[in-house]
Chains A and B, each alone.
Chain A
């Protein structure tokens, strides 16, 4: 079974802090994704990575950056957290090729005060 873990289930930060959210997968998947989920807006793609050190912007990259130094680990960085970044953050992974499912981690509920 694919296992996707996220560093924290719940996180509370203050406005202006630098925030790191980490995601680790154990299935040697090339593709990793960060989404945020908000009531009424659903899930939206922030960034994705298709290989080590490679990254692509998703639909809402503003205010975020990412890092992928190792294949199994994909980090989402909020350089200066703001209250409108309070959300549920979900990491996902997918193998290469077109016929693979996307698997999600348990999510991190981030609150920015």
Chain B
């Protein structure tokens, strides 16, 4: 069964720093990987989607990479801002026929950017 792990569970850094959030998954047979952010008490906002054939995706100050063979993804946030404070979730989708067709989530990294 696919398991997704996110390290660290929590991170606090000063404003302006570049930072990396890590995600690992146990079964490399994924369809795609999606990064989300979640603000307290709210739903999830999709940040980036990487297909299994891609190595990275970029959106503004965010860059996500995928190394499917080693079961790893990273989310790079450049020039962090207090508004980036949130919980960041990584999720993988298995190929059709591989079980329930939802996403398997990590437990998230709680990020605080200090002003």
Contacts and interface: CB of A to CB of B under 8 A. Distances in A.
A31 B89 CA distance: 21
A48 B43 contact: no
B65 interface: no
A101 B46 contact: yes
B25 interface: no
Given A31-B101, A43-B105, A57-B100, A102 B46 contact: yes
A31 B105 CA distance: 18
B70 to A, nearest CB: 22
Contacts of B49: 99, 101
Contacts of B44: 90, 92, 104
A99 B57 CA distance: 14
Interface residues on A, range: 20 to 34
Contacts, number: 63
Contacts of A33: 102
Contact of A103 (B31, B46, B51, B101): B46
B20 interface: no
Given A45-B100, A59-B100, A98-B32, A107 B43 contact: yes
Interface in B81-98: 89, 91, 93, 95-96
Contact of B102 (A40, A58, A105): A58
A50 interface: yes
A102 B34 contact: yes
A48 B101 contact: yes
11 contacts: A31-B101, A40-B107, A42-B106, A43-B103, A56-B100, A59-B100, A102-B46, A102-B91, A102-B93, A104-B43, A104-B44
Interface of A: 4, 31, 33, 35, 40-45, 48, 50, 56-59, 90, 92, 98-99, 101-107, 109
